[in-house]
Chains A and B, each alone.
Chain A
Amino acid sequence: MDLNEHLFRHESSRMVAALTRIFGVHNLALAEDVVQDAFCRALEVWKVRGVPENPSAWLMLTAKNRAIDIVRRERTARTFAPELGRALDAEWAIASVVDEAFAAHTIRDGQLRMMFSCCHPQLKEEVQVALVLNILCGFGAHEVASAFLAGRAAIEKRIARGKKTLAGAKRLFDLADDEFIARLSAVRRALYLLFNEGYHGASAESAVRVELCREAIRLTLLLLDYPPAATPETHALAALMCLHAARLPARVDASGDLNPLLDQDRSRWDAELTAQGLAYLDRSATGRDLTAYHVEAGIAATHAAAPSVADTDWSSIVWLYDRLMAIAGSPIVALNRAIAIGERDGPARGLEELRAIADRDRLDRYPFYPAAMGELELRRGNRDAAREHFSAALALARNPNERRFLTKRLDTCKLS
C-alpha cells in the first residue's frame, strides 16, 4: 500500500491537537514527544511488516494508547488540561475522555484552537508563521529554516520562544472568546504571509515553495470548514490563494527559472484550482466589506479570465489596484499599479507612475523596482536605459533565482 505523500506531517498536527486537548497546552512538549514516539514505532513496524490498511488510524491508535498510559501513570504527579476538570480522576473515565479527544470534530476544533493560539498578538508575525508551520504543518526546524532561507539555529530559537509563550498560557484559545473576530484576522494574516512566503519566497527550491502554498491553502480550508470563521473575508483569502496557486505550474520554466506573469504559458495554469478560486471569490462577495484579500483575489481573477496578456482587462486591474492602494497601500502595491498602468496606457505612463511612487525610497533594495523600469524602457526601445536598470536590479538580487532571471533580462537588452 502506498503512503499519502505527507501523511506523517498532516497526522502530526492532528495528533498534537488531540493530545494537547488531554494534556493541556502547558504540556505541549509532552504531546510532541508522544507524536514523535508514534512515528518512531510506525517507522520501525511498517518498514518491516508493510504499511497497514489504514495508516492514519494506526498512528492515532498508537498515540491514543500512549496517552492513556501517560495519564494513568502520571495523573497524580502532573496536571493535565484544565478544561477537563476532574474527568481524568476516575480510572474508568480515562479511556472515554481520550477517545473523545481523538474524535474527528474535536481534532478539527483542536487544530483551530492551536492555530488561533499560535497567532497570539504578543508574538511577532514571523514567530506566528514559524509556529504554524512547525505545529500545524509538521515542519521541522530544518524545513522551516529552508523555507525562510534562515539559519536553523535562529529558527529553532524562534520556535522555542513561541512555544514558551504558548505553553505559558493557561489554555488554548477558546473559539467562543470575544476576541474571536480579532484573532481570526490575525490568523488570516499569518496564513497569507505563509502563502506569500511560498509564492514569492526566497527559498530556491520550488518544491519547498509549492509546499508552503499548499499548506496555507489547507489551513485556510480548515477555517472555511468552521462556520464562524467562514466569513466573506476568509473566502476571499481562499480565493486569492487558489487563483495564485493555479499559476504555480507556469511560474518556473523548463530550466527551473522564474517566469514572470506576462511571459507565462497560460495553458499550464491549473484550471481546477482556478475554478475553485473563482467559486470562493463568488462566495466572498457578500456583506459590505471590500477587503485587501477581495481586491487581490479580484486582480488574480482578472488575470485568470484573460486568454493572453494583450486580452487582459487592464482597466479593471488598474481600478482594483487603486482600491488596494486605498485599503492597504504600500510601495509594492504602487509598483504593481504602475506596471498595470504601463500595460493600459503605454510604457511612458508606466514609467511616470513608477517615478511618482510616494515612498519610493522604501524600494531602494527591491530588485523588481529597477527591473520594472527596465521592462518599460525596453518596451519603449531605450535599450541603454533598460540595460542600466537591469544592471541595478541584478546588483540587488537576493537569491540565485532572481540573479538568473535578471541576468536573462539583461542579456535580452544586449541581444535585441
Chain B
Amino acid sequence: MSEFVFLYRITEASRRDAMGTPERAQQSMQRWLAWMQQLESKGHLKDRGQPLELGGKVVRGAQKTVTDGPYAEAKDLVAGFTIIQARDVNEAVELSHGCPILDGGGSVEVRPVMKMNP
C-alpha cells in the first residue's frame, strides 16, 4: 500500500456554485459524506485531512515579502486535502473519481507521498 494526497482544488465560481441554495449545499454535502464514508469503509482513508481557508499570506524570497494570498495570482485554490491509501497511482486516481468536487468544476490533484525507504 502506498499513500497519496488528494488536493482539492476549487475556483471561486465552483465554490459559489456548490453552495447555490441551502438545499443544493446540503445535497453537495451529502455526496461528500457518502464518498468519504465509502473510502473509510474500504480502508482507503488514512487521514481525513483538513479544509483550508482560501485566504492567507504568501511569504516570498530572501526579503520575506508578505502578500495577501494566494488568491490574487491563482485561478484555482487548494481548499483542503485528504491522505489516501491505495495500491498504486492508478487505484488512487480511480478512487478520486467519486469525489463530488468534480461535479462542480473543481479538481482533485492526486500526489503520491514520497517514500522514506524507496
Contacts and interface: CB of A to CB of B under 8 A. Distances in A.
B58 interface: no
Which interface class (under 10, 10 to 19, 20 to 34, 35 or more) fits A? 20 to 34
A395 B48 CA distance: 58
A42 interface: yes
23 contacts: A9-B22, A11-B22, A39-B19, A39-B22, A39-B25, A40-B25, A42-B25, A43-B18, A43-B19, A44-B51, A44-B79, A46-B32, A46-B33, A47-B33, A47-B51, A47-B100, A48-B32, A48-B51, A49-B48, A49-B51, A140-B23, A142-B20, A143-B23
Q: When A and B form their complex, which 5 residue pairs have the shortest distance between CB atoms, in order from nearest?
A: A140-B21, A47-B32, A8-B22, A8-B26, A138-B22
B33 A9 contact: no
Interface of B: 15, 18-26, 28-30, 32-33, 36, 48-51, 79-80, 82, 100
A297 B25 CA distance: 37
Nearest to A12: B22
Contacts of A12: 22
Given A48-B50, A50-B33, A50-B36, A3 B26 contact: yes
Contact of A139 (B18, B21, B82, B100): B21
A271 interface: no
Given A6-B23, A43-B32, A48-B48, 4 more contacts: A9-B22, A36-B19, A39-B25, A40-B15
Contact of A7 (B21, B26, B28, B100): B26
A45 interface: yes
A51 interface: yes
A217 to B, nearest CB: 18
A306 to B, nearest CB: 37
Contacts of A44: 51, 79-80
Nearest to B24: A140
Given A36-B19, A142-B21, A46 B48 contact: no
Contacts of A40: 15, 19, 25
Task: Give the residue among A7, A39, A50, A51 with the most B Cβ atoms within 10 A.
Answer: A39
Given A47-B36, A48-B82, A42 B20 contact: no
Contacts of B18: 43
Contacts of A46: 29, 32-33
Contacts of A143: 21, 23
Contact of A3 (B15, B29, B36, B50): B29
Interface string A29-73: 000000010011011111111110000000000000000000000
B23 A9 contact: yes
Nearest to B49: A48
Task: Give the residue among B24, B26, B36, B48 with the most A Cβ atoms within 10 A.
Answer: B26
A43 B33 contact: no
Nearest to A44: B51
B21 A50 contact: no
B48 to A, nearest CB: 6
A6 B22 CA distance: 8
Contacts of A138: 21-23
Nearest to B50: A48
Nearest to A35: B22
A43 B25 contact: yes
B8 to A, nearest CB: 8
Given A48-B48, A48-B80, A49-B48, A42 B22 contact: no
Task: Give the residue among B22, B49, B51 with the most A Cβ atoms within 10 A.
Answer: B22
Nearest to A138: B22
Contacts of A6: 23, 26
A51 B48 CA distance: 12
Contacts of A48: 32, 36, 48-51, 80, 82
Nearest to B82: A48
B81 to A, nearest CB: 8
Contacts of A7: 26
A138 B20 CA distance: 11
B48 A50 contact: yes
Nearest to A11: B22
Contacts of A45: 51
A140 B29 CA distance: 17
Task: Give the residue among A43, A44, A142 with the most B Cβ atoms within 10 A.
Answer: A44
A3 B34 CA distance: 11
